[in-house]
Amino acid sequence: MANDDPIMASMAGRYATALFDLAKEQNQLDAVDAQLDQFLAMLNDSADLRNMVKSPVFSADDQFKAISAILDKAGIGGIVGDFLKLIAKNRRLFAAADMTKAFKGRLARERGEVSAEVASAQALSDEQMQALRESLKASVGKDVKITTKVDPALLGGLTVKMGSRMIDSSLRTKLNKLKVAMKEVS
């Protein structure tokens, strides 16, 4: 079946589709999603793991042995463990993060969710997150899964990216616009 989605047409997309289909068939979507989050957190927290995953210096056998030991220690098994070992054997471990992103995209579409990346100058409180979630849901008409990050360079306010749309209400952008407007006046 042909797919017009460029992410799904990519190598990472094909692997993610296979993982998604298997997880759905075995009613394991939530468990696979949680274990992928766990693996991504480990990947983000460890420079050594990132180096092992991305470096072409390590052989497929070395990557397989290392990832097997890491997964056993972390308690990641089942579909996700087998999947990560398979991509290590196939020399595709470097694309694990892209595969995870593509899987999460498929999962969000399956659930009728839209994802949004929110950057703020300070961590958002639970009340602010709830208000933002409700505002975004009213805007797009669907549940919105929000991932947040703190970017002190914004000075204040926040930026929201949903698909190809971006809403920038950061103080930094407002100050830059004011600076440009003042230059035009003088």
| Average pLDDT of span 116-125 | 88
- Please give the Cα distance from 133 to 127 (Å, whole number): 10
pLDDT tens sequence across 129-173: 999 889 888 888 888 888 888 888 888 888 888 877 888 887 788
Secondary structure element (H or E) that encloses residue 73, with its range: helix 60-74
Domain span holding position 97: 6-108
Threshold 0.75, pTM exceeds: no
Domain at 57, CATH number:
1.10.520.20
Residues 124 and 168 in one domain: yes
Residues 104 and 117 in one domain: no
Q: Are 121 and 154 in contact (CB under 8 A)?
A: yes
- Please give the Cα distance from 46 to 134 (Å, whole number): 35
* pLDDT beyond 90 at 48: yes
Residues 140 and 77 in one domain: no
pLDDT tens sequence across 82-114: 999 999 999 999 999 999 989 988 998 888 888
Strand intervals (E) in the chain:
113-120, 143-150, 158-162, 165-168
* pLDDT beyond 80 at 5: no
pLDDT, greater one: 180 or 163: 180
- Total domain count, the chain: 2
